[in-house]
Amino acid sequence: MKGVHNHVESNEDVENELYELFLEARDSYLSEVKGRQVRLDYFIELFLSSHYYIDCECAKCKNAHRRNLTLIRQLFTDSFHLVKPLFVKPSLTQAELSALVNSHLTSAVYSKKRAAYSLGCSFTDKQIEHMVSISEEYHIFKTMDGSNLQDALRSLFGCQNGFRLQVCHIRKAVVFFDELLECNLIGRNWQTVLDRCGLLVSVRSGKLIKRTSLSSSLSKARASVAAEYQSIRKAVFEMKKEELYESR
């Protein structure tokens, strides 16, 4: 945040600082996450760390600043689905941000499981469409109720509480996730997150796919010379390369 610090005297002052912080976070997100493909979880951590201290010893100012940083973190994690549509708007009013914060604070409480785990990713609609094409071509995923796979992948990568996605071929699926990791599109803890959140179900057994199964399947897939696995990796890499080219 730039400019001379003014002491917090009212709730309006607190809201003004939040507005400035949010605008800066939005601009940084567009530059770092969308432009440079920085992982969302890393971006949030670095942004908050770089704004942690203020040049003021007033307890009221410090508390207000800490409160606003907490809101920024919550908005960019728990309520990112509310925040993301605002990134395409040419401008954002303070009233719109206040409405967003109110929706965030009054929405249904996320479960501890949902809040504790994240795949650390943020995909564009075009990337989701690309992944749908990969899944359909190599028969990787299937929705539980035959619904739209695009929406299902958004729920999967958002670790939506109670969501389940069927896996038609576990080795193909782990190759897909492993290449997303290689392209720095998801976090290294993806196996743990998928397990703990219970996001994947085997089509064959109808049971949740555990981390042990994901790990062993990945080891076998890496040892395999199957052309299909390499094709999946290439398709994911091409998606990454295309996004990097368009961001220039």
Give average pLDDT by consecutive 10-residue segment, the chain, 248 residues: 61 84 91 85 86 80 85 85 79 88 74 62 89 97 86 89 91 97 91 93 93 96 95 94 62
Burial state string for 192-206 with b = 16 or more CB within 10 A and e = fewer than 16: ebbbebebbbbeeee
Q: Which residue is associated with the tokens 């997100």?
A: 29
Question: Helix (H, G, I), strand (E, B), or coil: what is residue 169?
Answer: coil
How big, in percent rounded to 5, are the helix, strand and coil portions of the chain? 65, 5, 35
Residue 80: φ, ψ to 5°: -60, -30
Report which residue type is found at 140.
Answer: I
Give the single-character DSSP code of 208: B
pLDDT reported for residue 103: 85
pLDDT reported for residue 35: 85
- Under 8 Å between Cβ of 155 and 209: no
